Amino acid sequence: MSKVFIMDHPLIQHKVSRLRCTDTGSKEFRELVREISQLMCYEATRELPLEDYELETPIGTAVGKRIAGKNLSIVPILRAGLGMVDGMLDLVPTAKVGHIGLYRDPETLQPVEYYCKLPQDIQERDLFVLDPMLATGGSAVAAVQFIKDKGAKNINFLCLIAAPEGLKTLQDAHPDVNIYVACLDEKLNDHGYIVPGLGDAGDRLFGTK
């Protein structure tokens, strides 16, 4: 079964609460998503393997550490996942960025794919799939399946708010994926929105609606 990490850091809890507020406008919303993504990136990269290398300091030689293997890749799910990209790149600026375009059909709640562009060597990289909202889990399950179909193996999923239903669906479909959640909420409503959630993440990020 996949490992689920619920972030309990006070800074994350504080910032997610601001994110939820109806009176938080798009500018502050974007800033908060970026900051929370940075903090989550710090936690989600904790297990990355390191290798030793020799370096010169002004005084002598030292054995340094660097991330082993290929750099990682981040894969935002369009559109709302875009809001998390800069926070990740702030800490891992050399990461390659793939994109998966999905939207949730408002009637059926099923994910509909409209775009997919991934780094060619994706199978050699540690992947971090980004989407602020894990609601029914349909979009996350489909996105992870796309990248698995391209050969990806080491996959992590990062979201800001999850519903228990979506978390279970993602775990059941992809038990090998580690899931990082800033806040686990109560439930979904009849329209597939997370309660209490924050509303429509894409609309709040980009000021649509």
Site of interaction with ligand URA (CB under 6 A): 80, 133, 135, 192-194, 197, 200-202
Output 153 or 187, the one with its CB closest to ligand URA: 187
Residue reference for tokens 């981040």: 74
Determine which residue in the list 19, 35, 83, 104 makes contact with ligand PRP, applying CB under 6 A.
104
Burial class of residue 149 in the structure, from the number of CB atoms within 10 Å of its CB (0-12 exposed, 13-18 middle, 19+ buried)? exposed
167 is in an annotated binding site: no
Nearer to ligand URA, 40 or 159 (CB): 159
Q: Does 197 bind ligand PRP (CB under 6 A)?
A: no
Cβ-proximal residues to 181 (8 Å cutoff; 6+ apart), any chain? 4, 5, 6, 7, 134, 159, 160, 161, 162, 167
Cα–Cα distance between 32 and 23 in angstroms, integer? Answer: 13
> Least separation, in Å, of the C-beta of 204 and ligand URA?
8
State both tokens at 188: 């979904």
The reply to whether 111 sits near ligand PRP by the rule CB under 6 A is: yes
Instruction: Please report, as ranges, the residues that interact with ligand PRP according to CB under 6 A.
Output: 77-80, 102-104, 109, 111, 131-140, 166, 192, 200-202
Known binding-site residue numbers: 79, 104, 131-139, 194, 199-201
